[in-house]
Structure formats: C-alpha cells, structure tokens
Amino acid sequence: MKKIKTRDRILGTSLALFNSLGEPNVTTLLISDELDISPGNLYYHFKSKSDIVDELFQSFEAEMVDLLAVPDDADISLDQFSFFLHLLFEAVARYRFLYQDLVNVLSRYSQLQVRFKRILAKKKNAFRVLCESFQSQGVMTISEDELLSLCEQLTLTACYWSSFDTLSHLDDRESVDPGKGVYQMLHLILPYLAEQEQQEIQLTSRSYL
C-alpha cells in the first residue's frame, strides 16, 4: 500500500477539478476540500494557485514536446498517423482545462503565453512534416497553398475539437472520447489522399465513431 504524497495528490485533484469545472471556477478551498486537507496545508505545498497551474502546464508541455518530436526523415504510414492522432487527442483531453478557456487562462497566467504558442507551432510543424512524408511516399497529392491551409486546419481542430465536443454534453464533463476527434482529423486529409488510401481511411476511421 503505497502512500501518495500530498503534493502529488494536490496536483492530481486540481487537474481533475480544472478539467471538469473549468480552472476559473475552481478555488483553492475547493481543492483542499476535495482532498480533505486544510487550505493552509495546500499553501504549505504550493505558495499560490498559479504555482499549481504552472506545474500542471509543465507536465503538459513535456508530454507534448515528447509526442510532437516527429522524425522528419522516416516514412510514416497512415496507421502510424492515426495512432499519433489518438495519442495527441488523449494528451489534449487530459489537459483540456487549458483549451476550454484558453484566452482567459493565457491572459491570467501570462507567463504561459509564449510557451503555449511554441507548442502550437510545434504542432503545426509536426502536421506539415507528416503530410510531406505522405507526399514523398506518393500517398498524398496537394498544392502548397492547400497544404498550409490544411495544416492550419489540423492544428485548429487538434486544439478545439474536445471543447467543441464538450458543448454537446455540458452536463457530464468527466468523460471525453478522443475517437470522434481522430475521425474528423482523418477526414480532413482524406480528399488529398490517393484512391486506395482513401478507402483504407474510410474503413479505419469509421471504427472511431
């Protein structure tokens, strides 16, 4: 029976509450209440609420940097791409409190702005690298203009899909299914794929619904 450190319990509970209620609606009192510890105790471990947000963001950042380190020389298969999308949506969903009130969060924790933008740029770049890999394999045909627009669209969707999906069921905000997001993303690249791959994607993507 391992005892989890209070510090880590605070982080875990904060993340869960942020995600389900929205970060601005979660007070330090609510966090400590949920953990059955005193507010004072919470402030013994973190000198401010923004320190909690900071540390959660750092985990998010680390996960994303790790995930988005896409090799730009290897040939990526569509299966690998789907898997990548799946991991991406799961990571975003795990930290969805950041995206749900993005403008608000970034304006109140302004030190996160630059770092968030950097992740966004990495994301867009990863999509570009992946699409270029598809192109060089002859699986994708697309003009430069359309490629830029597509990558922008993929990035937008990767950010906001889970928030958009949440709108459909604002009541229970606990569960998020990344499946539909992956489905949408695959359908974005679909028109630019070769005949055979289109059929392949249409089959596999359907399983995500």
Residues forming contacts to its own copies in the complex (CB under 8 A) are 21-22, 24-25, 100-104, 106-108, 113, 116-117, 120, 145-146, 149-150, 152-153, 155-157, 159-161, 163-164, 166-168, 170, 183-184, 187-188, 190-192, 202, 206
In whole angstroms, give the CA distance from residue 57 to residue 98.
8
b (16+ CB within 10 A) / e for 171-183: eeeeebebebbbb
For position 40 contacting DNA by CB under 7 A, the verdict is: yes
Judged by CB under 7 A, the chain residues 125 through 164 that form the site for DNA are none
Judged by CB under 7 A, the chain residues 5 through 34 that form the site for DNA are 5-7, 26-29
| Closer to its own copies by Cβ: residue 22 or 37 | 22
Instruction: Give CA 121 to chain center in angstroms.
Output: 13
> Of 158, 166, 203, 164, whose CA–CA distance to 185 is shortest?
158
Judged by CB under 7 A, the chain residues 43 through 102 that form the site for DNA are 43-45, 47-50
- Compute the least distance from the CB of residue 52 to DNA, in Å: 8
- Compute the least distance from the CB of residue 7 to its own copies, in Å: 27
| Closer to its own copies by Cβ: residue 73 or 145 | 145
| Closer to DNA by Cβ: residue 43 or 164 | 43
For position 39 contacting DNA by CB under 7 A, the verdict is: yes
H or E segment and range at residue 13: helix 6-21
Q: CB-based contacts of 94: which residues, under 8 Å, 6+ apart?
A: 15, 19, 60, 63
Choose the contact partner of 27 out of DNA, its own copies, none; CB within 5 to 8 A by kind. DNA
- Do 200 and 78 form a contact (C-beta atoms < 8 A)? yes
Angle made by CA atoms 97, 102, 103, in degrees to the nearest 5: 150
Which range of residues in 42-50, 72-80, 99-107, 186-194 is near DNA by CB under 7 A?
42-50
In whole angstroms, give the CA distance from residue 28 to residue 26.
7
- Using CB under 7 A, list all residues that contact DNA: 5-7, 26-29, 36-41, 43-45, 47-50
